[in-house]
A and B are shown apart, each in its own frame.
Chain A
Amino acid sequence: MEKFEPVLETKQVLQHPLVFDRKENKLKKLWNVFKKDKLAVMGLFIILVAAAVSLLAPIIAPYDPNISNGSKRLLGIGTAGHILGVDEQGRDILSRLIWGGRTSLLTAVVPITCMFSLSLILGLLAGYWGGKTGEVIMRLLDVLFSFPTVLLAIVVSAIMGAGVLTIMVSCCLTMLPYMTRVVYTSTVTEKTKEYIEAAKILGANKLQIAFKEILPNVVSDLIVYSTSLIGVAMVLGAGLSFLGLGVQPPTADWGKMTSDGMKVLTLGAPHVATIPGLIILIVATAFNWLGDGLRDLFDPHKRTQ
């Protein structure tokens, strides 16, 4: 964390990636700035490890995650052959964690990616066109906002029944209002700026202004926000599986593992419930760190305090 010092010095300004030096690779320059942010690099590292581990689950998982072994139950951490122990049905916890990463990551990343373009279009529509359409869009989102996120997800599961698809639809519906509002707010600020005026004078039509002029300037805000939201979506998805509304047994999922473990908490096996939750916390926070890092990268003046 920096102490109070001038945000950028002259030398730094010249080195900053947004100061164009066409000879140098822009990506490389961005990376050079990014890698100074230790937390963001750590976040990226954790995410990459989690993604790689879940992708390679069939190869690296030491046991089948769903095969129970009646003779071994509730073994503790550090048991020979089972580093993280064994759950109440005799399944290897490490293997279940590795496989569970797949559902947890998928149910968070897929909805946010799907809602990305939809929120861009809705936000631009509401923010730039305004008028009746904009009003209707924002009022509809207000209705979605008036549900605590978990509750909206519960409504979806009441309609669709439990399942992975339910988690994804819930995440889409709960995250869309937040993402759209970010686009909306940025669009409203951008549209009063001079370059929009200039584009209008040059004869650009509304569509061109919205998608060619405003969009590139609001998309970075959305990327930053969506990255942090992936973490939130992950916690929400795990929560739904915890409530039994998401992933169904015997499929391994971090949220479901926590709820299964809760039943054996009093039997002296706290690790069954607490390890998966800890992993959710770490990976979700990693997305947050990455999001914060990206924000500073796109806008060096908005340093986090």
Chain B
Amino acid sequence: MLSYAIKRILAIIPILMGVSFLVFSIVYLIPGDPAVKILGQAATDEAVAELRKDLGLDKPFFIQYGIWLANMLKGDLGTSITMRVSVDSVLIPKLINTLILTGGSLAVCLIGGLLIGLLAGLKPYSWFDRISMFFAQFGANVPVFWLAIVLMWIFSIKLGWLPAFGMYDMRTEGSTWSILQHLILPSIAAASVSLAVMARLTRSSLIDAFNSDYVKTFRAYGISEKNIVFKHAFRNILSPILNMTGLQVGSLMGGALFVEVVFSWPGLGSQLYSSITGQDLPMVQAGVLFIAISFVLVNLINDLLVASLNPRLRH
């Protein structure tokens, strides 16, 4: 296991290099002087000249990349054009908010997906199975931003049960209860696609497990159905489910970016949205880098978890 873990951790280095290189090259792919783009149109000539020297714009492309990477590793992510403050002071709290939302939607996706999948898979072709699988078909294609609007319309505007905007009440700022209330609708909206995928996967894995030889053997031995499901079948379907969870985290994060815009959730998605509109390049670069790195790390953790559960995958 240890050697697998080391190998897997080393494998993310080239991916991270590639990701950072792609983010770095954004500035150079946009036509115009990189120094002007980073400082904004309002920058003075002296400032531009100084930055040109700092960025090493007279040096070869790969040395420029090296300088940029070294700055990033030192934690110097640059200065926001529109806000005139260091990028990391803005983005780190937003990253945490996005991770809270992603965590919430992951919980909805896992709890909802497993529950629906198990109930449907235990009794295939029952009315519950048919209805839930009918909706699950649409789930994979649901435009997240649309679902967010529909949920907001029904539960916030019409019924008034849940808040429609932001992350917490201004009065009870930061209380856990308030955040949880604000988290429900955005989490459901961001989780919809993955929830549908998860429910379908759980259902089909459970049906496969029921048709397998080991379950037939247990049944022949007279082991109770409850024991078969929860002790044996469930453990076997856990590995594909965990694997899929890792794949779905990207979709959850992507969904969160849209949902944040609809619900004004103060996360990286809303920030990226306004930074792109405001052409705030350092902000866009750092935001993209943050999301991509957390995505790579989450996948790493997930792969390690899956491998620790299923020794066959370690080789």
Contact = CB atoms under 8 A, between A and B. Distances in A.
Interface of A: 1, 3, 139-140, 142-143, 146-151, 154-155, 157-159, 231-232, 235, 238-239, 242-245, 255, 258-259, 261-262, 265-266, 270, 273-274, 276-278, 280-281, 284-285, 287-289, 305
A235 B193 CA distance: 12
Nearest to A273: B149
A281 B125 CA distance: 25
Interface stretch (B58-66, B68-76, B269-277): B269-277
5 contacts: A147-B295, A150-B258, A158-B30, A273-B149, A276-B146
Contact of A284 (B14, B141, B145): B141
Of listed B26, B142, B146, B295, residue having the most chain A CB within 10 A: B146
A265 B152 contact: yes
Give chain B's interface secondary structure class.
helix
A147 B146 contact: no
Most A CB contacts (10 A, CB to CB) among B19, B141, B295 go to B141
B149 A239 contact: no
B149 A146 contact: no
B192 to A, nearest CB: 11
Nearest to B14: A139
Nearest to A268: B157
A281 B288 contact: no
Interface of B: 14-15, 18-19, 22-23, 26, 29-30, 125, 130, 137-138, 140-147, 149-150, 152-153, 157, 203-204, 207, 250-251, 253-254, 257-258, 261-262, 272-273, 276-277, 281, 284, 288, 291-292, 295-296, 299
Nearest to B124: A305
Nearest to A149: B254
A143 B261 CA distance: 26
A262 B29 contact: no
Contacts of A3: 125
Contact of B281 (A142, A158, A265): A158
A166 to B, nearest CB: 11
Given A148-B251, A151-B291, A154-B288, A277 B146 contact: yes
A148 B141 contact: no
Given A139-B15, A151-B288, 14 more contacts: A142-B18, A148-B292, A149-B250, A150-B254, A150-B258, A151-B291, A155-B23, A155-B26, A155-B288, A242-B258, A281-B141, A281-B142, A281-B146, A285-B137
Nearest to A289: B137
A48 to B, nearest CB: 18
A150 B257 contact: yes
A104 B165 CA distance: 29
Contacts of B23: 155
Contacts of B254: 148-151
Contacts of B26: 155, 158-159
Contact of B149 (A244, A245, A258): A258
Nearest to A143: B18
Contacts of B277: 244
B143 A239 contact: yes
A143 B22 contact: yes
Contact of B143 (A146, A147, A157, A280): A280
Contact of A159 (B30, B143, B147): B30
A151 B150 contact: no
Given A148-B291, A259-B145, A305-B207, A285 B276 contact: no
A231 B29 contact: no
Nearest to B25: A159
Given A274-B149, A277-B149, A288 B137 contact: yes
Contacts of A274: 146, 149-150, 153
B69 to A, nearest CB: 15
